[in-house]
């Protein structure tokens, strides 16, 4: 196997160490579960290094894989054994507002030693995840994240259903968590805090055996605070079947898959690599692969590949139809390094860039740095809204709307998959449309956690 690992990395032009990842994880029963957030250690660095100091849920980073049936009521008790306040946000779930986990907006932060019972229904099947919504640039970077899988009543048949949760760590040479790198204003005003070590399901160094013609459902989840992952497959052929939890008609997996922070993509793939060789799911950059799950092919699952999967049944999430009469607003994203942001409003007054930076701000949306007092939009329940997200910055942003899924607007029409997070490239505009059917106050923010903390937040109110 080590031979195959080298051969594969050479084949993809990799310079750095290969990383592998295991099949995962615990199943939780629907009903009451407890998630204790606490400091601890985990072997995320290569095995010849020390365990890393992390923050985790129930002794694991990522936290336990929660699997619940569609429509289930989930009761999850968060116990906070961290030194700081925290909350849990159930990313992508069209949840009741009071359970959305946004401190200061939908609940008080859970203080150290405190607890909070999340009690909610999961209306849509698919791949979701959970993470803190308090100081997430630190709490998520330290390891607080986990997969939430909502199972379809009739899932497409596969041999194995595997969450693939990516985390981006910054480690010192001995495998220690790089404390000094947290909270750097340089990172905040650029691409966010990028790591130097990627794990999948918390493992940076493992092997995942498969059989030829075995059918896998890979639930890719980007739990990095800031890194946009590019992924490539080798010896695995198949289809993209869902984005951000929402099914799409199966389409062939492209050569390169882009997964922005917080986004998910579900694949159904067949192992096409020959027995005795390796299939690969690789994390790549311009230099080639720098992390990978190597899947040695050992044995035969069936004589030939299965036929293409049928589309997954759609979720009850509403699709925006015609946009006539939709509420409309523009959200201008400004700031960051090399942007020339001169000033913005914060805490009710205009501040120059120097003062903003003193307050930890580097970005503004519609001229406001940080959470604005007034919502971007107030919508009657059931109204369709369209928001033009105009990126005047030199950086990509992964814009996330809480409580709703949206479609992107092309040529004045909603189009493509329902999503909850949209990557908007530098100096590009993305327009989203959604049906505001979920009452409450909902955040709209950049999911690069460092960008959110340094200014890129807004919110909409559904009355």
Among 56, 400, 404, 405, binds ligand C2O (CB under 6 A): 400
Answer for the pair 333, 423: CB distance below 8 angstroms, yes or no. no
Residue 444 phi, psi dihedral angles, 5° rounding: -130, 115
> Is the Cβ of residue 175 or residue 192 nearer to ligand C2O in the bound state?
192
Radius of gyration of the chain (CA): 21
CB of 85: closest distance to ligand C2O in angstroms?
16
> Is the Cβ of residue 80 or residue 225 nearer to ligand C2O in the bound state?
225
Among 142, 170, 212, 451, binds Cu ion (CB under 5 A): 451
Instruction: Give me the torsion for CA of 333, 335, 339, 342, rounded to 10°.
Output: 120
Among 448, 449, 460, 462, binds Cu ion (CB under 5 A): 448
> Is the Cβ of residue 190 or residue 402 nearer to ligand C2O in the bound state?
402
Among 446, 453, 460, 462, binds Cu ion (CB under 5 A): 446
**Alpha carbon of 366 to those of 29, 172, 218, 334, 353: distances in Å?**
44, 38, 38, 8, 15
> Is the Cβ of residue 89 or residue 193 nearer to ligand C2O in the bound state?
89
How far is the C-alpha of 118 from the C-alpha of 100, rounded, in Å?
A: 9
Please choose, out of 314-322, 383-391, 427-435, 440-448, the segment that lies near ligand C2O by the rule CB under 6 A: 440-448
Q: Buried (b) or exposed (e) across 229-252, using 16+ Cβ within 10 A?
A: bebbbbbbebbbbbbbbbbbebee
How far is the C-alpha of 305 from the C-alpha of 278, rounded, in Å?
A: 17
Decide which of Cu ion, ligand C2O, none touches 133; Cβ closer than 5 to 8 Å per partner kind. Answer: ligand C2O
> Is the Cβ of residue 122 or residue 233 nearer to ligand C2O in the bound state?
122
Is 397 a binding residue for Cu ion by CB under 5 A? The answer is yes
How far is the C-alpha of 425 from the C-alpha of 392, rounded, in Å?
A: 10
CB of 308: closest distance to ligand C2O in angstroms?
32
Is 262 a binding residue for ligand C2O by CB under 6 A? The answer is yes
Coil, helix or strand for 365?
A: strand
Coil, helix or strand for 257?
A: strand
Alpha helices by DSSP H, listed for 318-372, are 353-358
> Is the Cβ of residue 241 or residue 424 nearer to Cu ion in the bound state?
424
Residue carrying the six token digits 């981006």: 168
Answer for the pair 273, 235: CB distance below 8 angstroms, yes or no. yes
Residue 334 in tokens: 């400004």
The binding track of 89-128 with respect to Cu ion, each residue x by CB under 5 A or -, is ----------------------------------------
Among 67, 94, 133, 405, binds ligand C2O (CB under 6 A): 133
Decide which of ligand C2O, Cu ion, none touches 397; Cβ closer than 5 to 8 Å per partner kind. Answer: Cu ion
> Is the Cβ of residue 226 or residue 273 nearer to ligand C2O in the bound state?
226
Nearest to 218 by CA among 271, 169, 262: 271
Nearest to 270 by CA among 296, 219, 304, 230: 304
Decide which of Cu ion, ligand C2O, none touches 78; Cβ closer than 5 to 8 Å per partner kind. Answer: none
CB of 189: closest distance to ligand C2O in angstroms?
20
Answer for the pair 397, 429: CB distance below 8 angstroms, yes or no. no
**Alpha carbon of 152 to those of 36, 66, 89, 156: distances in Å?**
28, 14, 22, 9
Please choose, out of 72-80, 186-194, 201-209, 442-450, the segment that lies near ligand C2O by the rule CB under 6 A: 442-450
Decide which of ligand C2O, Cu ion, none touches 448; Cβ closer than 5 to 8 Å per partner kind. Answer: Cu ion
Is 451 a binding residue for ligand C2O by CB under 6 A? The answer is no
Please choose, out of 68-76, 119-127, 243-251, 441-449, the segment that lies near ligand C2O by the rule CB under 6 A: 441-449
Among 402, 404, 419, 451, binds ligand C2O (CB under 6 A): 402
Decide which of ligand C2O, Cu ion, none touches 446; Cβ closer than 5 to 8 Å per partner kind. Answer: Cu ion
Residue numbers 74-93 binding ligand C2O by CB under 6 A: 89, 91
Is 405 a binding residue for ligand C2O by CB under 6 A? The answer is no
Q: H or E segment at 10? A: helix 2-11
- Tell me how many residues contact ligand C2O (CB under 6 A): 10
Number of neighbours of residue 89 by Cβ within 10 angstroms = 24
Is 443 a binding residue for ligand C2O by CB under 6 A? The answer is yes
DSSP 124-155: S-EEEEEE-SSSHHHHTTTT--EEEEEE-SSP
What single DSSP character describes residue 84?
S
What single DSSP character describes residue 226?
S
Is 404 a binding residue for ligand C2O by CB under 6 A? The answer is no
Coil, helix or strand for 383?
A: strand
> Is the Cβ of residue 262 or residue 424 nearer to ligand C2O in the bound state?
262
> Is the Cβ of residue 233 or residue 448 nearer to Cu ion in the bound state?
448
Return residues touching Cu ion (CB under 5 A): 397, 446, 448, 451
Return residues touching ligand C2O (CB under 6 A): 89, 91, 131, 133, 262, 400, 402, 443, 445, 447
């Amino acid at each position: 196997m080590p031979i195959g690992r080298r051969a594969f990395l050479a084949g993809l032009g990799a310079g750095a160490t290969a990383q592998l990842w295991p099949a995962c994880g615990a199943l939780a029963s629907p009903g009451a579960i407890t998630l204790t957030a606490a400091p601890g250690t985990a072997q995320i660095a290569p095995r010849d290094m020390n365990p890393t100091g992390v923050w985790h849920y129930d002794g694991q980073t990522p936290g336990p894989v929660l699997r619940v049936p569609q429509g289930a009521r989930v009761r999850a008790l968060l116990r906070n054994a961290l030194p700081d306040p925290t909350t849990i946000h159930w990313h992508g779930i069209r949840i009741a507002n009071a359970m959305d986990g946004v401190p200061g907006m939908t609940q008080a932060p859970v203080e150290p030693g405190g607890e909070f019972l999340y009690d909610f229904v999961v209306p849509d099947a698919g791949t979701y995840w959970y993470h803190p919504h308090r100081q997430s640039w630190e709490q998520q970077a330290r390891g607080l994240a986990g997969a939430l899988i909502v199972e379809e009543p009739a899932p497409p048949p596969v041999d194995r259903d595997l969450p693939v949760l990516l985390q981006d760590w910054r480690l010192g040479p001995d495998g220690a968590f790089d404390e000094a790198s947290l909270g750097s204003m340089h990172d905040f005003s650029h691409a966010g805090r990028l790591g130097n070590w990627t794990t999948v399901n918390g493992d940076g160094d493992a092997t995942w055996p498969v059989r030829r013609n075995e059918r896998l459902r890979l639930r890719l989840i980007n739990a990095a605070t800031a890194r946009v992952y590019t992924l490539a497959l080798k010896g695995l052929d198949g289809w993209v079947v869902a984005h951000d939890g929402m099914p799409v008609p199966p389409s062939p997996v492209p050569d390169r898959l882009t997964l922005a922070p917080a986004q998910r993509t579900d694949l159904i793939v067949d192992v096409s690599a020959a027995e005795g060789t390796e299939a690969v799911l690789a994390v790549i950059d311009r230099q080639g692969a720098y992390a990978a799950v190597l899947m040695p092919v050992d044995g035969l699952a069936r004589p030939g590949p299965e036929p293409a999967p049928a589309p997954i049944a759609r979720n009850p999430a509403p699709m925006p139809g015609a946009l006539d009469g939709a509420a409309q607003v523009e959200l201008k994203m400004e700031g960051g390094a090399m942007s020339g942001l001169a000033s913005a409003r914060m805490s009710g007054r205009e501040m120059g860039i120097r003062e903003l930076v003193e307050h930890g701000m580097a970005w503004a949306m519609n001229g406001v740095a940080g959470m604005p007092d007034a919502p971007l939009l107030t919508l009657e329940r059931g109204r369709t809204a369209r928001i033009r997200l105009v990126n005047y910055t030199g950086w990509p942003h992964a814009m996330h709307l809480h409580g709703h899924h949206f479609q992107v607007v092309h040529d004045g029409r909603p189009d493509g998959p329902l999503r909850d997070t949209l990557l908007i490239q530098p100096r590009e505009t993305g327009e989203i449309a959604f049906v505001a059917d979920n009452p409450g106050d909902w955040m709209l923010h950049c999911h690069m956690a460092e960008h959110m903390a340094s200014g890129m937040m807004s919110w909409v109110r559904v009355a």
